[in-house]
Amino acid sequence: MAEHADREAAFADATRRREYFRVHTRIAIRTRALEPAEVDRLRLDIGERKPRGEATLDPRLEQWLERIERKLDDIRAHLDPEVERPLGTADLRDIELSGSGLAWRETPVYPAETWVRADFELPGPRPHCVVALARSVERRSGGDTEPPQAIAFEAIAETDRDAIVRHCLDVERRNIQVESGKRS
């Protein structure tokens, strides 16, 4: 009877976790280790993020406002060295991305179980900025095929996770088109 209950609990836990496929992509990303005091604040900030498209603005006006905001961020970062600069081409990195986390080869490499803030921008006609609270995970040695550093998302807005999944599907669709073009 206890064995049955354990199996049921394990099944319930497994069904709460979603499975995602991962793709190789190149995006602008910045990560940094967090102090314990910063973790709860970031978790709250992520919970308070407003879903994109909730405003009643014309989508074209919203896009222009986002561009202006990015340009103002660039100017502010240029004038004040204390302000973190916006993501740009200097932050481009090859990564393995999925809806549950990401992995990369370059530095920084965080010890297992380190809390990490990940800020990245998904490319597209309307770039989507993502902020995620993640935890570094220990990677099994997979040789040259597996990136040495990986983080698992612990807190991420559902709209951001949906955008990641859409990006992964777009990358996979392009890969399939390229492969099918090579065969013909």
Question: Has residue 85 been placed in a domain?
Answer: no
Provide the residue range defining the domain that includes 133: 21-50+91-183
Question: Has residue 68 been placed in a domain?
Answer: no
Question: Has residue 60 been placed in a domain?
Answer: no
The DSSP string of the chain is -HHHHHHHHHHHHHHHSPP---EEEEEEEEEEE--HHHHHHHHHHHHHPPPTT-S-S-HHHHHHHHHHHHHHHHHHHHH-TTSPPPP-GGGEEEEEEETTEEEESSSP-PPTT-EEEEEEEE-SSS-EEEEEEEEEEPPP--GGGS-SEEEEEEEE-HHHHHHHHHHHHHHHHHHHHHHHHHH-
- Model-level pTM? 0.69
Question: Has residue 11 been placed in a domain?
Answer: no
Number of domains in the chain: 1
Question: Has residue 55 been placed in a domain?
Answer: no
Q: Is 85 a residue whose pLDDT tops 70?
A: no
Q: 11-59, pLDDT tens digit by residue?
A: 444 444 567 778 999 998 989 899 988 999 889 888 876 555 455 667 7
Residue 139: CATH number of its domain: 2.40.10
Q: 140-167, pLDDT tens digit by residue?
A: 655 566 667 899 999 999 989 999 999 9
The pLDDT score that the predictor gives to residue 124 is 80
